[in-house]
Amino acid sequence: MSTDTAITMPEGAPEEVVTHSFLREVDLSAFGATGSLALITLDNGLDHNRPNTLGPKTLVELGERIAQAEASSAVAIAIIGKPFIFAAGADLSAIAFLSDRAQALAIGKLGHDVLRRLNEMKKPTFSFINGLALGGGLEIGLHSDYRTIASTAFVGLPEVFLGLVPGWGGATILPQLIGPEKAVQVIMANSLNNNTMLRAKDALALGIADALFDPADFLEKSVQFAADILSGKQKIERSDHTTDGAAWASAIAAGNAAMVKKYGNADIASPRRALALLEAARTSSRGEGFDAEDIALADLVMSDPLRASLYAFNLIQKKRKKVEGAPKPALARKVTKVGVVGAGLMASQLALIILRNLKVPVVITDLDQERVDKGLAYINAELQKLVEKRRLSSEGAARLAALISGSTDKNAYAGCDFIIEAIFEELPLKQKLFKELEAIISLECILATNTSSLSVTKMAEGLTHPERVVGFHFFNPVAVMPLLEIARTADTDDATTATAVAIGKELKKTMVIVKDSPAFVVNRLLTRFMGEITDAIDEGTPPEIADIAMAPLGLPMSSLQLLGLVGPGVALHVAETLHHSLGDRYKISPTMQAFVAKGIRTFYIKDGDGKQIANPEAVALINAGNQPSSAEQVRLRALTALAEEARMMLDEGVVATAAEIDLCMLLGCGWPLHLGGILPYLDREGVSESVAGSRFHPAGVASLPA
């Protein structure tokens, strides 16, 4: 095993935070077994906000401790993490600096050389998974002969989500350990479903863990488990999953289906390579599987999609913690009561998320009692669903239900500190509402609007205190979508903005502060992009051609599927608003006008077999011209439009940085992680320079080093 020296990382790469390995022996006589247990503790010496990670130096030291333990008189070896953390996987901070494929291969091989020793030595090995175990951290456990897990731990293999494969044994060992179907669920389906992690009880049920213990006496119980295994008091039976070829084929088919569901027909390397490794695991020896993992890992590391994915992932993590341009938190006002104007679906969702997270009284109003009652019924029904899912206790739901109230009288807002409106998107209605509210509320109460496209500045016209008005734009569904656009006008003061940011943090949203401008960031770019697709259809491009134009990108849904989600009415309204504000580059589609006039809500419908087909009523309304385009021409014009609009937005100061546009598109409309954000993709495609005259990001951002 070649672990005598660490791999030298490229110049400029961040210094590795070494997770040290501490070795001690535990006498097993008190646990009913003979001899001692060599216990290795992983600890980077930092608090729980910086989990243990596995870089080259860490792996070398771990290899040395494993060798010492193997050479000692101990009868078995176990690995545990620092309190609440086992290991959060490979240290990916330096990956973007690698420019030599041989180095990427060496990192993969180093991980295999160190971890495989746990399974290949004669002494029994154990992993005591006392907390978070992701990627390479979980792979330590998979290489061990036995695994215990704390009831509070979360585990997973997130590599495919990040553009990698489980490259230190996971893709080979896991299907052999728990079977191909379960392995595909963990490696593919969970990863592609926004990196879903497994709870400890689920890891136990799948066979990833052999025993589950509460954290209070986890180490003691785990040592007892090891002693029982060593003394023969307890035995763990393993099944041979490699004999059932039909199960293996079915699992691979399920993995392919998960890949298509996520990316359509786009050829995305990481899930495809992961599936190939899973399929080969049935017949490969572990050594052959590990060699294949090394090759796959090196190929992916030396690819733009991986660099793009890491850029996007790191951007999301960074901006989740820090809001660019936010005033000092101390300026935020205390919020003890919140008002939500409206009782429709969007308003009810807003009331629910505020209620659950702020746990303060929330009042909703609407035009009549029937609408108010419907909104309250929705909120209470959602609370009960949370109880049924065991995400909320009955007592907790009752406490929250007691905090929500409804009225048809706006005077109910008199004691509120923060009010957000979610009424119909008509500027005169919102202006009238804010003037009415200003006569009722205190001087410190903030007025927020959930508008998606209207001017917040105009909404505040005529108010005595326009400095208290702010845009607070959520995305639907409110509880799921992580982005919150905070639109600040020229009048909005720091206290208002700081309070909005503080509430956003309580709601667990990732925020971007934007200049009050038409449709802010996400809807402005989406409307421009969608407009190019509908314009192409109006010109004569067959809908099925226009709709597949962006398929190579692996977007979460096609343009016309997105239209069905947003609704032609909303899409047309936003397009009309932007046409009025920004000019003819936002065209008013006669097809969209016809859809809205005839009440068409979606371009696609399901046939009798549940298959998606074009809605004949929608197709009949298309008044196509005689200038059709190819799918590639439509793709290029859409990308060109995005580059033009992004450049204008930066020049106008809608946001301060290109990274904020990337963040908005990643979190607000599901722009794929493997593209690294919209602007790095336009840079790599050469669109940025041809359209805007320069790249949006320096060379090497979200791509291989220049």
Which CATH number goes with the domain that contains 626? Answer: 1.10.1040.50
CA distance to 264, 306, 313, 423, 681, per residue, from 662 (Å): 22, 16, 11, 29, 10
Name the packing angle between helices 170-178 and 136-143 (round to 10°).
50
pTM, rounded to two decimals? 0.90
Domain residues for the domain of 563 are: 522-653
Going by C-beta distance under 8 Å and a sequence separation of 6 or more, which residues neighbour residue 627? 539, 540
Active-site option among 16, 139, 293, 421: 139
Same domain, 63 and 87: yes
- Whole-number pLDDT of residue 6: 66
Same domain, 491 and 574: no
- pLDDT averaged over 10-residue windows placed end to end, the chain, 706 residues: 61 88 97 97 88 95 97 98 94 86 93 96 97 97 98 96 95 97 97 92 98 97 98 95 95 95 89 97 96 97 93 92 95 98 96 98 97 97 94 95 97 97 96 97 97 96 97 94 97 98 97 97 96 96 95 89 91 94 95 96 90 94 94 97 97 96 94 92 95 91 80
Classify strands 198-199 and 154-156 as parallel, antiparallel or unpaired.
antiparallel
- Whole-number pLDDT of residue 12: 75
Q: Is 81 helix (H, G, I), strand (E, B) or coil?
A: strand
Instruction: Pinpoint the alpha helices (H) of 359-406.
Output: 369-388, 394-401
Which CATH number goes with the domain that contains 266? Answer: 3.90.226.10
Catalytic residue check, 61: no
Same domain, 103 and 227: yes
Same domain, 503 and 526: no
Same domain, 558 and 497: no
- Rounded Cα gap, residues 71 and 405, in angstroms: 69
Same domain, 456 and 556: no
Catalytic residue check, 382: no
Same domain, 94 and 144: yes
Q: Is residue 3 domain-resident?
A: no
Q: Are 3 and 192 in contact (CB under 8 A)?
A: no
From 302, 319, 341, the end of a domain falls on: 302
Structural domain count of the chain:
3
Same domain, 353 and 204: no
Q: Is residue 78 domain-resident?
A: yes
- Whole-number pLDDT of residue 11: 75
- In DSSP terms, 134 is beta-bridged to 156
- Rounded Cα gap, residues 286 and 686, in angstroms: 42
Active-site option among 16, 159, 438, 532: 159
